[in-house]
């Protein structure tokens, strides 16, 4: 399905109704059909005789940044069932053009790689038309949006791929391919490197798996005459499968654990999109790739691990493993001395309890920076909520026998205490430049949700790209 800026005649016209207002130029016959359907602008309605498809929008204001995107995505899934080859949509602003494109391009995705009978449609082209925007301008918006959406859909495909295939090595190889295509630097570090870096926490999580761990370091540097580029380092949790280790998960909680690599996959997608858009920033992506499995050599509750920054960690639950992988990755990332350091991780169920399935938790020591990211996420159409650090919660992961414990002594506020645990592995001078994004809720959904089909969503990609764009525009 292609989206084009074109004035070609289409088989069907999609008419978007802002605030449920029906067009004033309806014919008598059209009014009678709408009355028969009892349609007043809520939801959608097909006028087959007029070859028009009305799509109602609830609101453009907070807390519904996705109203247009979601409405277009839902309409597309209905239109794809019709026997037509083309649809046209009238659009008069660049922002709405972008949102419509995101609704179309993200809404069209389905994970069907392992299905014998794949969904079929005769729909081939969607034309965006405008009386106020030049075709070249409109086409530029389409191309930029497509660059991001293709990366998001690639992220979704990686996350959805089952763990027997999508091992740490598989993700690392995918990173190498992306780097080669987009002329980025990609270093894939194996177990020996982790040992040389004394990443005891990362290594412990991976040691019972037959699939060895990898730390992938991607670097994007644009060709530019700008002397001082903003340096952004992104760190992603990449547990390609999480059984819980010896603190074994119940069976029902294992069925979506292929999605525990969502943070690393999102970082990979962000780097790919940044390179395609040629954003004027130096961006690094650090992927911590491992499996958390069981075996005779599995790490255990009661073990004490030594992280890269020499802090010791008492293990009380092997299912709190993501923070151990991220601990060493954040220490490694700190050495790059970034202007901004952001980690993305499906870290805690507690964040889902706090914010629900659909929102990312934003945490960090710098309230102003968290607010800036929250604003960028809203601009990008991703729902977020700020969870404030609390010095009293810091005490919850104190240990009597080590510097830290990998789980807090109370389950209350444990999304925040997990974030504060990670903060212990960010170089102190960088803590005001660091944000932790807990994407446990929105990264993977088991029901259709707006532009997101069942499965992986690519949560975090749009938000981080918008945040980087905001920072480059300021600089």
Instruction: For the chain, state the CA radius of gyration.
Output: 24
Question: Tokens representing 440?
Answer: 């446990």
Q: Largest alpha-carbon pair distance within the chain?
A: 80
Burial of 317 (0-12, 13-18, 19+ CB in 10 A): middle
Q: How many CB atoms lie within 10 A of CB 298?
A: 19
CA distance linking residue 333 with residue 263, whole number of Å:
15
Using DSSP's 3-state secondary structure scheme, residue 341 falls into strand
Contact, 346 vs 265, CB < 8 A? no
What residues act catalytically?
A: 249, 323
State how far the alpha carbon of 42 is from the alpha carbons of 16, 35, 266, 284, 439, in Å: 11, 13, 34, 45, 31
Give the CA count within 13 Å in the CB-facing half-sphere of 462: 30
CA distance linking residue 451 with residue 457, whole number of Å:
8
CA distance linking residue 447 with residue 256, whole number of Å:
13
Q: Tell me which residue has tokens 């992961």.
A: 397
């Amino acid at each position: 399905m292609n989206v084009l800026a074109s004035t070609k005649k289409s088989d069907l016209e999609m008419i978007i109704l802002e605030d449920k207002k029906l067009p004033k130029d309806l014919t008598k016959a059209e009014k009678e059909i709408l009355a028969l359907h009892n349609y007043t602008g809520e939801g959608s309605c097909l006028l087959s005789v007029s070859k028009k498809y009305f799509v109602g929008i609830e609101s453009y204001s907070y807390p519904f940044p996705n109203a247009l995107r979601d409405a277009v995505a839902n309409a597309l899934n209905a239109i794809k069932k019709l026997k037509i080859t083309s649809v046209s949509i009238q659009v008069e602003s660049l922002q709405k053009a972008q949102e419509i494109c995101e609704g179309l391009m993200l809404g069209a995705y389905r994970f069907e790689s392992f299905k014998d009978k794949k969904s079929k449609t005769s729909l081939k082209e969607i034309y965006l038309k405008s009386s106020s925007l030049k075709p070249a301008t409109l086409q530029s918006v389409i191309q930029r949006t497509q660059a991001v959406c293709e990366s998001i859909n690639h992220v979704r495909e990686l996350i959805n791929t089952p763990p027997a295939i999508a091992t740490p090595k598989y993700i690392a190889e995918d990173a190498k391919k992306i780097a080669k295509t987009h002329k980025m630097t990609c270093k894939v570090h194996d177990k020996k490197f982790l040992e040389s870096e004394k990443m005891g926490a990362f290594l412990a999580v991976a040691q019972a798996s037959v699939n060895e761990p990898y730390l992938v370091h991607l670097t994007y540097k644009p060709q530019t005459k700008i002397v001082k580029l903003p340096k952004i380092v992104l760190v992603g949790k990449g547990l390609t499968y999480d059984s819980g280790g010896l603190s074994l998960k119940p069976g029902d909680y294992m069925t979506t654990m292929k999605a525990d690599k969502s943070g690393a996959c999102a970082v990979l997608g962000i780097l790919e999109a940044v390179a395609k858009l040629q954003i004027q920033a130096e961006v690094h992506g650090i992927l911590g790739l491992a499996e958390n499995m069981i075996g005779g050599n599995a790490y255990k509750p009661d073990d004490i691990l030594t992280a890269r920054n020499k802090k010791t960690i008492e293990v009380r639950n092997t299912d709190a493993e993501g923070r151990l992988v991220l601990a060493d990755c954040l220490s490694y990332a700190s050495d790059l001395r970034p202007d901004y350091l952001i980690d993305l991780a499906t870290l805690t169920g507690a964040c889902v309890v706090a914010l629900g399935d659909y929102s990312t938790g934003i945490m960090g020591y710098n309230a102003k920076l968290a607010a800036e990211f929250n604003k960028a996420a809203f601009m990008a159409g991703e729902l977020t909520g700020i969870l404030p650090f609390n010095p009293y919660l810091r005490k919850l992961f104190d240990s009597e026998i080590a510097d830290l414990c990998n789980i807090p002594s109370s389950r209350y506020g444990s999304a925040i205490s997990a974030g504060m645990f990670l903060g212990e592995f960010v170089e102190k001078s960088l803590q005001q430049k660091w944000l932790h994004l807990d994407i446990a809720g929105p990264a993977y959904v088991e029901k259709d949700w707006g532009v997101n089909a069942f499965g992986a969503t690519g949560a975090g990609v749009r938000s981080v790209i918008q945040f980087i764009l905001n920072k480059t525009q300021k600089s």
